[in-house]
């Protein structure tokens, strides 16, 4: 009987390159590029499935009753271009359902139009990120979004979103994709933010879209801003012209805007922000920049009054404090002073987020305009850098990194009382755990570690949802309920930009035929 190693030459992967001059030349061979985007922890996961009752160490707090959702870009087919990027992968949603001290796992792709067309073709059809001119001819005029950046809860549904297209609605329990969601015909822009904001007091959604005037990929400078009330009705709509075409990744807001025209700011990578009501000309934000740089804003009247030097990204707050002053924030931290085992792990894919940090503003700097209560103009921002409160940091170890953390509030607890949950990457063994910490005592280490049986990729954003919200909306959303079934866009319904595209295509065809071509 032959030893398995004797068979290795006959079963080894082909050595023929799958790409020639950066282009996919043999799409029938399912082989991904041998680049850092597709290796190590970022090797495509490419699966959907369920695991009931996950293994865990420690004690999962029995009072946690809800679901931790997170989303990752995950290519299903070799891309058309060898140097494709991580952000161009199909959206794949993870749900960790936690109840009674146990946890279950569910993984599903977002079934976008892109997903369906490529499934039918068994190959990639969409080219470079946000560049429709590199697509296969068969998908011209198709909504290109992969819905792979954030997963949020809105009125009984999950919204999987990416800022290059409209969101897609999903069932919060089954993760079934319900369809493209246009807020029942109220928002028909080609793009939509991956970072809508939800007012915990009014139930409103504040949302926006950039590059919203054309097809979403033509460098339009149009920016749309909307408010939808708790009943899902659009109550405000405003349009602006940006100074240039550029990313408006996230936004901040506050309860009583002193500057209505600045209700949505435009910083890149602003994950949690607050404009002080007493000093409309100053702003305090938790900025994930290693050197403590300020952010670009279109209106120079808004300047930072504090720059807390941190080295990390993915800042999170207690979402019950959105639009209000807050003291606690958390983020994934890069600590270059800690050891890293490069020999075992190779380059730290996605960044060396080797720690989690909890930060608490002290009383003297609790969103004040200046230490002595003076105006923002009296503060020399150049000298107001450093630490303005307490820091509590947990280091994962030399072979591990974290993905974005999410705060789980304790029922009826004060701000910051609860748990912090995050995905932990084991870069040496290529596997993942879900870790749960006491949110105000990270240095003690996780109270529970949930072990996943499958490797996941680097994700982007996620959120925790209390199961009471799911149950309440499930009753309202059932057929005959007071809200009714989720209404998604029909398969044949087109966005305005698509209608215009097909009209122009028809005119071109008629012109060509008229000339005898």
Tell me the torsion sign for CA atoms 216, 461, 360, 418: positive
Q: What is the pLDDT of residue 308?
A: 77
- pLDDT, mean over the chain: 85
128: which residues sit within 8 A by CB, 6+ positions away? 80, 81, 84, 88, 134
Q: What is the pLDDT of residue 297?
A: 44
**Tens of pLDDT, residues 132-183:** 999 999 999 999 999 999 999 999 999 999 999 999 999 999 999 999 999 9
Task: Classify burial at 112, counting beta carbons within 10 Å of its beta carbon; exposed 0-12, middle 13-18, buried 19 or more.
Answer: buried
Model confidence at 72: pLDDT above 60: yes
Tell me the torsion sign for CA atoms 374, 375, 381, 384: positive
Q: List beta partners, residue 58.
A: 448
Model confidence at 512: pLDDT above 80: no
Mean pLDDT, residues 438-462 taken together: 96
* Chain Cα centroid distance, residue 242: 23
**Tens of pLDDT, residues 338-383:** 999 999 999 998 889 999 999 998 877 665 433 333 333 333 434 4
DSSP letter string, 188-204 = --S---S--EE-TTT--
219 CB neighbour count, 10 Å cutoff: 11
Secondary structure, 3-state, 258-326: CCHHHCCCCCCCCCEEEECCCCCCEEEEECCCCCCCCCCCCCCCCEECCEECCCEEEEECCHHHCCCCC
477 close to 156: Cβ distance less than 8 angstroms: yes
Q: List beta partners, residue 425.
A: 401, 432
DSSP letter string, 383-417 = T-EE--EEEEEEE--TTEEE---EEEEPTTPPTT-
Query: How many CA atoms, within 13 angstroms, populate the side-chain half-sphere of residue 516?
Result: 0
Q: What is the pLDDT of residue 126?
A: 98
Mean pLDDT, residues 452-457 taken together: 94
Mean pLDDT, residues 205-219 taken together: 94
Query: Residue 81 carries which DSSP code?
Result: B
Q: What is the pLDDT of residue 431?
A: 96
Residue 440 CA to residue 414 CA, distance in Å, equals 12
Q: List beta partners, residue 103.
A: 98
Mean pLDDT, residues 39-66 taken together: 97
Classify each residue of 434-448 as buried b or exposed e, where b means 16 or more C-beta atoms within 10 Å of its C-beta.
bbbbbbbebeeebbb
**Tens of pLDDT, residues 399-440:** 999 999 999 999 999 999 999 999 999 999 999 999 999 999
330 close to 310: Cβ distance less than 8 angstroms: no
**Higher pLDDT residue, 50 or 304?**
50
pLDDT-derived band at 309 (thresholds 50, 70, 90) equals: confident
357 close to 312: Cβ distance less than 8 angstroms: yes
305 close to 282: Cβ distance less than 8 angstroms: yes
Nearest to 85 by CA among 161, 33, 48, 134: 33
Q: What is the pLDDT of residue 373?
A: 33
């Amino acid at each position: 009987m032959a030893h398995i190693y004797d068979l290795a030459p006959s079963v080894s992967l082909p050595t023929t390159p799958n790409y020639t001059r950066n282009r996919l030349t043999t799409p029938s061979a399912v082989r991904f590029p041998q680049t850092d985007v597709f290796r190590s922890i970022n090797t495509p996961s490419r699966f959907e499935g369920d695991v009931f009752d996950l293994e865990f160490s420690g004690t999962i707090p029995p009072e946690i009753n809800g679901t931790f959702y997170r989303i990752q870009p995950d290519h299903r087919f070799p891309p058309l271009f060898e140097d494709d990027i991580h952000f161009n992968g199909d959206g794949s949603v993870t749900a960790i359902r936690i109840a009674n001290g146990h946890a279950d796992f569910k993984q599903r792709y977002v079934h976008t139009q892109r997903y369906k067309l490529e499934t039918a073709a068994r190959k990639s059809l969409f080219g470079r990120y946000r560049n429709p001119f590199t697509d296969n001819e068969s998908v011209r005029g198709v909504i290109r979004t992969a819905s792979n950046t954030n997963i949020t809860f809105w009125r009984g549904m999950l919204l999987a979103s990416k800022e290059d297209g409209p969101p897609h609605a999903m069932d919060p329990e089954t993760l079934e994709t319900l369809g493209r969601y246009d807020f029942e015909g109220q928002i028909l822009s080609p793009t939509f933010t991956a970072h809508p904001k939800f007012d915990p007091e009014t139930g409103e959604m504040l949302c926006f879209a950039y590059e919203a005037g054309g097809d979403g990929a033509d460098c339009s400078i149009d920016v749309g801003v909307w408010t939808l009330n708790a009943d899902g009705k659009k109550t405000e709509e405003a349009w602006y012209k940006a100074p240039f075409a550029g990313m408006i990744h996230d936004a901040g807001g506050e309860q009583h805007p002193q500057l209505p025209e600045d209700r949505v700011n435009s910083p890149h990578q602003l994950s949690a922000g607050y404009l002080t009501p007493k000093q409309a000309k100053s702003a305090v934000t938790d900025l994930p920049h290693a050197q403590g740089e300020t952010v670009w804003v279109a209106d120079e009247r808004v300047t930072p009054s504090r720059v807390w030097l941190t080295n990390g990204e993915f800042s999170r707050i207690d979402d019950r404090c959105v639009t209000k002053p807050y003291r606690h924030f958390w983020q994934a931290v890069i600590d270059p002073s800690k050891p890293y085992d490069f020999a075992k792990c190779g380059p730290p894919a996605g960044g060396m987020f080797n720690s989690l940090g909890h930060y608490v503003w002290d009383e003297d700097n609790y969103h004040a305009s200046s230490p002595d209560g003076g105006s923002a103009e009296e503060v020399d921002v150049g000298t107001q850098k450093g630490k303005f409160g307490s820091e509590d940091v947990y280091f994962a170890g030399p072979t591990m990194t974290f993905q974005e953390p999410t705060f789980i509030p304790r029922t009826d607890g004060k701000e910051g009382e609860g748990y912090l949950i995050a995905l932990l990457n084991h870069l040496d063994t290529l596997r993942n755990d879900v870790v749960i910490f006491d949110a105000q005592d990270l240095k003690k280490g996780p109270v529970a570690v949930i072990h996943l049986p499958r490797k996941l990729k680097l994700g982007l954003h996620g959120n925790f949802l209390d199961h009471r919200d799911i149950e309440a909306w499930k009753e309202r959303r059932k057929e005959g309920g007071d809200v009714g079934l989720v209404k998604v866009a029909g398969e044949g319904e087109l966005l305005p930009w698509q209608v215009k595209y097909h009209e122009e295509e028809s005119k071109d065809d008629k012109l060509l035929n008229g000339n005898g071509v």
